[in-house]
Structure formats: structure tokens, C-alpha cells
Amino acid sequence: HVLVVDFGAQYAQLIARRVREAKVYSEIVPHTMPVAQIAAKSPDAIILSGGPQSVNADGAPQVDPALFELGVPVFGICYGFQAMAAALGGEVARTGQSEYGRTPTVVDAGGVLLDDLPRSFSSWMSHGDSVTRAPEGFVTLAHTATTPIAAFEDVDRKLAGVQWHPEVLHSEHGRQILAQFLYDVAGLTPDWTPANIVEESIAAIRAQVGDKQVLCALSGGVDSAVAATLVHRAIGDQLTCAFVDHGLLRKGEREQVKKDFVEITGIKLVVADAEEQFLAALSGVTDPETKRKIIGREFIRVFEQTVRDIADEADIEFLVQGTLYPDVVESGGGEGAANIKSHHNVGGLPDDLQFTLIEPLRALFKDEVRAVGEELGLPHDMVWRQPFPGPGLGIRIIGEVTRERLDLLRDADAIAREELAKSGLEKEVWQFPVVLLADVRSVGVQGDGRTYGHPIVLRPVTSEDAMTADWSRLPYDLLEKISTRITNEVAEVNRVVVDVTSKPPGTIEWE
């Protein structure tokens, strides 16, 4: 496997995904991890990511030269390229020649890294400093108009680096360059495939569970469906699934889950009706993180109760969660990343939690989960369903969550979903939150009179993995249809607005 050392830019996850797209397993580690600890993970290769700082700035993260003594192949990208040069005795300086965006790049000597590439192509750059002298033993492979050393390698030590970002799509041949590092410089084998992931997960689940009983929370989403199916494959009838109706679901969702899941997989399913309990717990609460914590807490409590109700309590020892790798990284995951949001499937568990967690998707990105779902033979519709947050509509009502507001939002959301499906553009949209600004009032004129109602926000986004996102350019006709229907059919709503913010700086959800 490959370790991606994160120097704090947005790019580490993207690099990790690209490596996996090249069928090599990768994990992200913080740049603060000591070399001994990195060595203990026995990586087959290391990639140093980009980062926002200048290598020469006070307190800027450095690479411990001992890293290069491990005999492990290392690839430096942008900041990682410069940090590598500095650590090995080369020179990095502010030349006054910055490059941002698409940059014509010329290959001098292909070497192993840039073998088989065209002599010139366009690469995506973002740097103020440059490598002004390569370390001893390195051959310079490419240059640009202002950067004489834009790529280098030392074939004997299996070290290489590039100034640009091969992981971003705007860099031509980026995938090929990463692949050539992985296969040709580092000598790795592409064996991270859905079939292998399934096989390894099943073996790991069997080893963890033994002959114990397992409970799984189905949410209706792709992640829990795939997690449950994996566990079911591994241990069969030792698995019972439970579905919590927390009252924060979309219209018709509960019926859908029952129908789809039980009919398709034959898994044992229990439905817990907990709407009252959740609404009572959420009463008067407006702070998003508090909502998440409460929903997470109640969720676990309902599970505990469900366990008592359905089984001999002592028997159930494990709880399956559909936690994904980006949740782990964003929530800190023990790897030192900032806590951006306490996603309820990672944080917020009560201290008296009685279950040991099984998280079969903890190492996977969303696209990998879908590939695994397909590999497991789940229906296409289920595998490609849009993601929906665990706290459901609870974090799509800005303000207090009440049943009346939920009903209102459910109606608006159903209209948006229905019209999107009719338009045939579902595949273009990663996710389509519909948000009720319950604490905001807007004036309208509907029928004969002035109304004082609430705005609804449409937030359709395109994304590859929810880490970054862009607002969807939905056709005006479709937006108009949705707007007209919502304002006509949903009482209290007299305004529909479209969110045109990318992520960053926004997030996909409003809370």
C-alpha cells in the first residue's frame, strides 16, 4: 500500500483516490507522523502531498531526511517535491516567478517517470517557490518557461517528484504519471479491485465477529446497504438489520427501504418507530452540531432498545456502521486532521455504548463503495442512489425541527426529486438537498393577498466524493417547474431560491 503524507492542502484525499483508481491501496497520514511510525506501517511507496506554505518559512513542515533512508520509493508533489529537494540537500528559493493554473510543460528527458509522454503538455501548477538546484543523484526531467526544474527523479533510490499537480484533472496525463510512478518507479502491482476488496472485507468481518450476533443500522442509503450486504455475505443469519424511522426521513422512504431491502437480500429486518422520541429530544434545538449530537445519541439509544426488544440482549455484540474514509479523515480519525463536522456515524456515541463497531467501509471512498455494491450484485438503482445524511431532514431545517416543518419540507423535497427524475438529469446531480429556512420569513403575494411565509433553498450539486462540490447548472425550465410547483403546492412557501456556491467555501448541506 501507499501512504500519502498530508502537508495540509486540499489535495491529499484526491491523491489517495487517484492512487486507488490505479488499483493500489492508499491511506492518508499527517505530516507530523514520525518516520519510525511510518516505517512501522510498512508502506510499499510514499507520496508527499502539496501544501499551502513555503518550505523556507519559519515553522513550515519539513520532511525528515530519514524518510529517504527507508528504501521505500517516494514521490513528491508540489510542496512535497520542494520539501524532498530541501531534505536531500537541493535548494528551494523564491524566484519571483510564480505559476498558477495551466502551464505549458516541456519534457527534457523522459526518464522512468515521464517515459512515453509527449514532449510537451499542459500541467496545472500552483507555486511561488521553485526548486533551484536538484539534490545530488537526481536527473531533471522537465521544465517550464519560468521553472527550470519542474520534475526530477533518482532511479537508483526510486525517488521522484513533480512541481505540478498530476492528481487534478486539468493536468494532462496526470493519471499516467501517477501510474508510472506506482508501477514503473516503485514496482507496485495493481491489485486493489472490487473483487479483492469484497474478499478481504468478508475475511476481516468473519475474523472480527466469530460466532457472535451482529446488528446493522439500515438508513436507506448506499453505504449502509453495501455494509449490511457485505456483513450478510460474511456471516449470514448472525446479522439482523434494524431501520430507525426517526421521523426525519423523506417522503415514502420507510416503505421503500422495506420493499427494496427485504425483497432483494432476504436479510432479517426490524423497523423501529421512533419519531416521537427524536422530535421530543430535538425540541427547541437550533444549533447544527447539537442537532447532530442529539440525533446520533438518540439513534444509538433506539438501537439499544431495539436490541432489548428483538433478541436476547447478551447475544448481540456488534453494530455495523457505514462510515466512509472521508468521514474518518474529516472527523479527525485519529490522524490529526481538523474536526470539520461531527458526522454522527463517527462522533457523538454515548459513553455507555454497548456495542463494538464494525465499519466495513471505513477505508473506502464513495466510488469504491458503489463498485463493491455492484460487485455484490445489488440493484443498480440502489447502488447509484444519491447520498442522504444520517441526521436526515433534521439538518435541512434551519431553525427548530418540528413535525409541521418536516411535513412541509418533505412535500417540497418530493417535488424537487420527482421533477429531477422526470428531467432525466438525475445522474448529473450528486446530491440535491432541499432546505427550509424556517427561521427566515419572506413576503409574497399569492392569490389575492400578501403572504408572510418561508423560503425554500434548492441546493443541487455535482461532486465526485462530497469533499469538493460545484453547484449544478440545472436548466432554467426545470428550476422554474420546481419553483412553480413548490410555491403552488406547499402552503407557507412563497419563495424558492437556488444556491450557487461551490464547496469550498460552502458545504453541501446548510448545517
- Annotated catalytic sites, by residue? 78, 165, 167
Q: Does 503 bind ligand XMP (CB under 6 A)?
A: yes
Q: Select 82 or 431, whichever has its Cβ closest to ligand XMP.
A: 431
- Given candidates 286, 462, 502, 507, which one binds ligand XMP under the rule CB under 6 A? 507
Within 271-300, the residues that bind ligand XMP by CB under 6 A are 292
Amino acid identity, residue 289?
A: E
Alpha carbon 135 to its chain centroid, in Å, reads: 36
# residues contacting ligand XMP (CB under 6 A): 15
- For residues 45 and 2, give the distance between their C-alpha atoms in angstroms, rounded to a whole number: 5
- Among the listed residues 392, 289, 311, 291, the one whose alpha carbon sits nearest the alpha carbon of residue 355: 311
Give whichever of 337 and 466 is closer to ligand XMP, judged by the CB atom: 466
Residue 391 touches ligand XMP, criterion: CB under 6 A: yes
Classify 176 as helix, strand or coil: helix
Torsion angle of the four alpha carbons 279, 280, 284, 286, in this order, in degrees rounded to the nearest 10:
-40
HSE toward the beta carbon, residue 141, CA cutoff 13 A = 24
Residues 6+ apart with CB under 8 A from 38: 3, 5, 29, 46, 67, 70
Part of the chain binding ligand XMP (CB under 6 A), chosen from 11-19, 127-135, 266-274, 387-395: 387-395
Q: Which stretch binds ligand XMP (CB under 6 A): 24-32, 113-121, 338-346, 470-478?
A: 338-346
Question: Residue 274 Cβ, how far from ligand XMP at the closest point, in Å?
Answer: 17
**Considering beta carbons, is residue 166 or 348 the nearer one to ligand XMP?**
348
- Return the residue of 12, 319, 361, 508 that touches ligand XMP, per CB under 6 A: 508
Stretch that binds ligand XMP, among 34-42, 90-98, 337-345, 437-445 (CB under 6 A): 337-345
Site string for ligand XMP, 439-468 (x = CB under 6 A): ---------------------------x--
Identity of the residue, 344 or 495, whose beta carbon is nearer to ligand XMP in the bound complex = 344
Q: Which stretch binds ligand XMP (CB under 6 A): 154-162, 257-265, 312-320, 339-347?
A: 339-347
Among residues 436, 438, 443, which one has the least CA distance to residue 459?
436
Closest contact distance (angstroms) between CB of 391 and ligand XMP is 5
The separation between CA 329 and the C-alpha centre of its own chain, rounded to angstroms, equals 9
Residue 390 interacts with ligand XMP (CB under 6 A): yes or no: yes
- Alpha carbons 271 and 310: distance in angstroms, whole number: 11
3-state secondary structure at position 160: strand
Task: Report the residue number, 43 or 391, with the smaller CB distance to ligand XMP.
Answer: 391
Residue 43 in contact with ligand XMP, rule: CB under 6 A: no
509 counts as binding ligand XMP under rule CB under 6 A: yes
314-336 burial: b if 16+ Cβ within 10 Å, else e: eebebbbbbbbbbbbbbbebeee
For ligand XMP, which residue of 148, 333, 387, 399 counts as binding (CB under 6 A)?
Answer: 387
Does the footprint of ligand XMP cover residue 344 (CB under 6 A)?
A: yes
Q: Point out which span in 90-98, 271-279, 356-364, 500-508 binds ligand XMP (CB under 6 A).
A: 500-508
| CA–CA dist 219, 209 (Å, integer) | 22
Phi/psi of residue 80, each to 5°?
-60, -35
Residue 343 is a binding residue for ligand XMP (CB under 6 A):
yes
341 touches ligand XMP by CB under 6 A: yes
Rounded least distance, CB 144 to ligand XMP, Å = 34
Binding mask 23-42 for ligand XMP (x = CB under 6 A): --------------------
Asked if 389 is part of the footprint of ligand XMP (rule: CB under 6 A), the reply reads yes
- 133, amino acid identity: R
Q: What is the DSSP string of 250-306?
A: PTTHHHHHIIIIIHHH--EEEEEE-HHHHHHHHTT---HHHHHHHHHHHHHHHHHHH
The answer to whether 431 contacts ligand XMP (rule: CB under 6 A) is yes
- Other Cβ atoms less than 10 A from the Cβ of 168: the count is 16
Residue 328 beta carbon to ligand XMP: minimum distance, rounded to whole angstroms: 12
Contact 487, 493 (CB under 8 A): yes
3-class state of residue 200 by DSSP:
helix
* Residues contributing to the site for ligand XMP (CB under 6 A): 292, 341, 343-345, 387, 389-391, 431, 466, 503, 507-509
